[in-house]
Amino acid sequence: MTTYDKFPTVTVQGYDDSAWQNWESIARTLHARIQQQTRTILVIDCYPGVRLAELEDNLLPRLRPTLAINVEQARQDECAVHDMLARNLTDDRVFGVLSCHQLGEFFDPARLDALQTQVNQCSEGLIVIYGPGAALVHPGDVLVYADLPRWEIQQRMRSGETGNWGAENQHEDMLRRYKRAFFVEWRVFDRHKTPLLRRADFILDTTQAHQPAMVTGEALRAGLTQTATQPFRVVPFFDPGVWGGQWMKQQFDLDPSAPNYAWCFDCVPEENSLLLRFGAVRIEIPSQDLVLLEPRALLGEKVHARFGAEFPIRFDFLDTIGGQNLSFQVHPVTEYIQQQFGMHYTQDESYYILEAEPDAVVYLGTRTGTDPQAMMDDLRRAGRGEKTFDDARFVNQIPAKKHDHFLIPAGTVHCSGAGTMVLEISATPYIFTFKLWDWGRLGLDGLPRPVHLEHGEKVIDWQRDTQWVHQHLVNQFEPIAQGNHWREERTGLHEREFIETRRHWFSEPVVHHTGGGVNVLNLVEGESAIVDSPTGAFAPFTVHYAETFIIPASVGEYRISPAACASGQSLATIKAWVRS
């Protein structure tokens, strides 16, 4: 039976009576707050993707407002929005340019003024303004923010339930809809919601259809403050892929009827959920909300100064055991991602091998003597279907075994071969993959998977040949320190990458320190371990094999020990942090 926890939850102390479930309880709580005044303006601002029809059918009738206004009637029409975003959306199927827009630009000023006039002319009773951007009409006497994680938004997009905000494009290519959300919507709405979360009276969890939950803003903010002072995990999510394998399905007790699982985002706070328990009520929010509201305590002063309210380290899984090769790919170098896409840092990464079949390989760097023009010509011919790419001629195939670590600075051609379970440790920008060759496959949607030779050939570092790769990128293990029953090894990353990684082997407690920056770890060997505070600053925290966990910068000193069930075993963690 798996010990991997798919629904890790933070129990918030001191706010057991501050959260409610179901529409009836939520309406009753809001009524109690509203009845204190003869004229009350209730603003329910929303993240895009919130089901407004569910609010209209279940909450508004229970509130019985004198006036109800859906702010979306003041939104710019679809053509005007599209014209405004054309530079950001581009013609590319996958890549756009990061938006710097403010939410107010998506609304017609005259229509907003008309809604504000309506509100001012209503002199008594309850006035409800709701929808994405509702706080642009009025700050609210009572403010509710309705939120949901990006992963749930993607599920609604995939099902065809919803398109992008302000666009009737439910049937458009999913990659284009995701691109618009990633480069525009989520950036705009994170800017808009951050100050609202800081002052909201209530947060409404709309993740599960017809299963709403609400918590006071005070309790939520206290819960985030608590989370930023203790170890925690975000909620992992799993996704199939054309190359996906079977290891995670068995190891993590996933749906056996699924064809495969390719990815697990085990620590990508921009996408993952965070579960907070207030008494009997569990609230699911985007884990990005923690980054937005508690960046200094979570990230540390130096990391926050460098990256802003953005979590810069990503841990995820790539499963090809019983599957196929990943796409052969390369990531953009820093100047290219800045100039072409508006990102301020790039997708450096590494592959830590959790498990591997006997003949597993990692494709990494070009073979010594490779002629760049010959390889690009071969890739173009393969892309046209004239031949298969001659990978054995051009690319190093390096045997991969359990606990190997391959470093992949941007500009290095690479992919994991079939038969590996990869813990990918990388910088957070996670969609900037230039596929060079996809082994002639179609995607799960039946369409050819996008290949980006025109981008890729501009960023490949051709000096990363066989000798250089083995000298700089393969198993760069360096002993750092050791004691009784423990040892620490540096495993990378490459000097061009901002992430430092260390592996600790231990059968007795090991003391760590955040060093003033956020630490991200995974238990890569052993059944389970206990993370505690030598000073009792937080409750002991249990982690299991393959679970990724976050230690906020504010924690300082912490200790990792084998759990009782793992006594006598040799355990190992891999730890990542941002280099000073």
Amino acid 565: pLDDT: 78
- List pLDDT tens digits, range 542-566: 999 999 999 999 999 999 999 987 6
Structure tokens that stand for 487 in this block: 């040892």
Amino acid 450: pLDDT: 79
475: exposed, middle or buried (Cβ count in 10 Å: 0-12, 13-18, 19+): middle
Amino acid 288: pLDDT: 97
Distance CA 19, CA 412 (A): 49
Q: Which of 578, 485, 544 is nearest to 236 (CA)?
A: 544
Amino acid 429: pLDDT: 87
- List pLDDT tens digits, range 128-152: 999 999 999 999 999 999 999 999 9
The CATH superfamily assigned to 478-578 is Jelly Rolls (2.60.120.10)
What is the pTM assigned to this prediction? Answer: 0.96
Amino acid 371: pLDDT: 98
1 falls in which pLDDT band (50, 70, 90)?
Answer: low
- Start-end ranges of CATH 2.60.120.10 in the chain? 478-578
Q: Which amino acid is at 443?
A: G
Which CATH code fits 9-227? 3.40.50.300
Polymer length of the chain: 580
Structure tokens that stand for 463 in this block: 């000096």
Mean per-residue pLDDT, 465-469: 98
Average pLDDT, the chain: 95
- List pLDDT tens digits, range 452-466: 999 999 999 999 999
Distance CA 307, CA 494 (A): 20
Whether residue 98 contacts residue 193, with contact meaning beta carbons closer than 8 Å, is answered with no
The answer to whether residue 441 scores a pLDDT higher than 90 is no
The answer to whether residue 567 scores a pLDDT higher than 80 is no
Q: Bigger pLDDT: 34 or 489?
A: 489
Amino acid 420: pLDDT: 98
- List pLDDT tens digits, range 334-382: 999 999 999 999 999 999 999 999 999 999 999 999 999 999 999 999 9
78 falls in which pLDDT band (50, 70, 90)?
Answer: very high
Amino acid 254: pLDDT: 96
- Start-end ranges of CATH 3.40.50.300 in the chain? 9-227
Query: In three state form, how does the secondary structure of 330-356 look?
Result: ECCCHHHHHHHHCCCCCCCEEEEEEEE
Q: Which of 9-18, 46-55, 97-106, 169-178 has the lowest mean pLDDT?
A: 169-178
The answer to whether residue 402 scores a pLDDT higher than 60 is yes
570 falls in which pLDDT band (50, 70, 90)?
Answer: very high
Element (H, E) at 489: strand 486-492
Q: Which amino acid is at 379?
A: L
